[in-house]
């Protein structure tokens, strides 16, 4: 059974899945650099990639996603 | 409380001038009360309590307080802190536009920060939704600027929060640095900051 709506536009897809994906462990962020849906990861985790793919598959089965290991974001404050 | 960061810009509103940085730099994530002295250099950087006070937090500053039950924000505009700047015009010397004759790509930026000084980088993303770790928890920001360093250097590090990020080609302010990882930097769009606080860059 196909989902009723499958956003093909990466920006629309990002808006739809952003909150879900940002809840996943190991995910730092999500964006659309150069028109490509991209998930930013804290580390090179296959588990995190698979969880992201599962969410995208449920929303837009034909969607494609890039991953970029970029680290964990924090305020830039000297402690 | 001893904190340190970067004074990104002098801004103006209604005839008054203010210093612009981040909430966690100037208000320690909402912990510092109105009236707390702000020093430049910061006390962490051997500032002098007697001679180096430059500002006090303003009453109507934006906060980091969670809007809903969970500790997450969905609006970049709550990240900035604007403090009255009563004296010392020397404090505005941050992120001067270093015009050169070389042609720059649209995404090339630079900044001056308290820790890493002058650095250059490239904008990777202008609409990133990101999780940022604070002392009060993980906060989420939407539509942020993501910057990668030029090869062989860091674009920013701890203590650079508050830096003004400037487009190298146009010489215009584009962002206000507030977070990052060892591999990248996160900034608010400066237009969001100015609009939310109803301020203008001075000078």
Q: What is the pLDDT at residue B80?
A: 58
A8 or B175: which carries more pLDDT confidence?
A: B175
Q: Do B131 and A78 touch (CB under 8 A)?
A: no
Q: Report pLDDT digits (tens) over B127-147.
A: 999 999 999 999 999 999 999
pLDDT band at A7 (very low <50, low <70, confident <90, very high): low
Residue B180's pLDDT is: 97
Q: Mind spelling out the 3-state secondary structure of B150-169?
A: CCCCCCCCCCCCCCEEEECC
Instruction: Give B89's pLDDT tier (boundaries 50, 70, 90).
Output: very low
Considering only CB atoms, which chain B residues are within 8 Å of A38? 125
pLDDT of residue A5: 54
pLDDT tens-digit map of A29-79: 999 999 999 999 999 999 999 999 999 999 999 899 999 999 999 999 886
Above 90 in pLDDT, residue B92? Answer: no
Is 90 exceeded by the pLDDT of residue B189? yes
- pLDDT value of residue B35: 82
Residue A26 pLDDT class (50, 70, 90 cuts): very high
Mutate to test the interface with A, among B181, B182, B183 (most CBs of A within 10 A): B181
Give residue A15's pLDDT.
96
Q: List the single residue in A with minimal CA-CA distance to B135.
A: A75
State mean pLDDT over B167-185. 96
CA dist B67 and B40 (Å) reads 32
pLDDT given for residue B60 in this prediction: 65
- B24 close to A75: Cβ distance less than 8 angstroms: yes
The pLDDT mean for chain B works out to: 82
User: What is the dotted CATH code of the domain comprising A10-69?
Assistant: 3.30.1340
How close does chain B come to A2, measured CA to CA in Å? 27
Q: Per-residue pLDDT averaged across B88-107, rounded?
A: 45
Cβ neighbours of A72 in B, within 8 Å? 133, 181
**B119 φ/ψ angles, rounded to the nearest 5 degrees:** -140, 160
Please indicate whether residue B94 or residue B173 has the higher confidence score (pLDDT): B173
Can you tell me the mean pLDDT for B43-48?
Answer: 92
Chain A nearest C-alpha distance from B34 (Å): 21
Cβ pair B131:A11 closer than 8 A: no
- Does B41 sit behind a cis peptide bond, omega within 30 degrees of 0 on the bond before it? yes
Whole-number Å distance between alpha carbons of B109 and B148: 10
Q: ipTM of this model?
A: 0.92
Domains of chain B: 9-92 (no CATH), 108-192 (2.40.10.10)
At residue B91, the pLDDT reads 29
| pTM for the predicted model, two decimal places | 0.85
User: Mean of the pLDDT values across residues B18-38?
Assistant: 89
SS (H, E, C) A12-44: HHHHHHHHHHHCCCCEEEEECHHHCCEEEECCC
Comparing alpha-carbon positions, the chain B residue that sits nearest to A24 is B131
Per-residue pLDDT band for B30 (boundaries 50, 70, 90) equals: confident
* C-alpha–C-alpha distance, residues B104 and B126, integer Å: 18
Q: Where does residue A51 fall: left (phi above 0), alpha (psi -120 to 50 degrees), or beta otherwise?
A: alpha
SS3 for chain B, per residue?
Answer: CCCCCCCCEEEEECCEEEEEEEHHHHCCCCCCCCCCCEECCCHHHCCCCCCCEEEEECCCCCCCCCCCCCCCCCCHHHHEEEEECCCCHHHHCCCCCCCCCCCCCCCEEEEEECCCEEEEEEEEEEEEEEEEEECCEEEEEEEEEEEEECCCCCCCCCCCCCCEEEECCCCCEEEEEEEEECCEEEEEEHHHHHHHHCCEECC
Of the pLDDT bands very low, low, confident and very high (cuts 50, 70, 90), residue B71 is: very low
């Amino acid at each position: 059974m196909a989902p009723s709506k499958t956003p093909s536009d990466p920006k629309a897809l990002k808006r739809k899945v952003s909150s879900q994906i940002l809840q996943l462990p190991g995910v730092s962020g999500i964006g659309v650099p150069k028109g490509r849906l991209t998930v930013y990861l804290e580390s090179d985790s296959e588990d995190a990639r698979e969880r992201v793919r599962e969410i995208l598959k449920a929303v837009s089965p034909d969607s494609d996603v890039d991953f970029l290991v970029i680290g964990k974001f924090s305020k830039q404050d000297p402690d | 409380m001893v904190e340190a960061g970067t004074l990104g810009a002098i801004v103006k509103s209604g005839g008054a001038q203010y210093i612009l940085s981040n909430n966690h730099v100037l208000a320690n994530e909402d912990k510092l009360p109105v009236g707390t002295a702000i020093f430049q250099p910061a006390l962490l950087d051997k500032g002098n309590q007697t001679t180096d006070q430059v500002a006090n937090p303003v009453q109507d500053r934006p906060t980091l307080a969670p809007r809903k039950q969970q500790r997450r924000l969905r609006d970049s505009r709550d990240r900035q802190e604007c403090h009255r700047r009563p004296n010392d015009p020397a404090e505005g010397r941050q992120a001067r536009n270093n015009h050169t004759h070389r042609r720059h790509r649209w995404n090339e930026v630079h900044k001056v920060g308290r820790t890493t000084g002058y650095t250059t980088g490239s904008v990777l993303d202008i609409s990133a939704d990101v999780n940022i770790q604070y002392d009060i928890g993980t906060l989420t920001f939407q539509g942020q600027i993501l910057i990668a360093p030029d090869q062989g250097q860091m674009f920013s590090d701890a203590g650079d929060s508050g830096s003004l990020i400037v487009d190298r080609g146009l010489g215009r302010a584009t962002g206000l640095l507030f977070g990052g990882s060892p591999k990248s930097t996160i900034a608010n769009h400066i237009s969001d900051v100015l609009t939310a606080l109803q301020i203008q860059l001075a000078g």
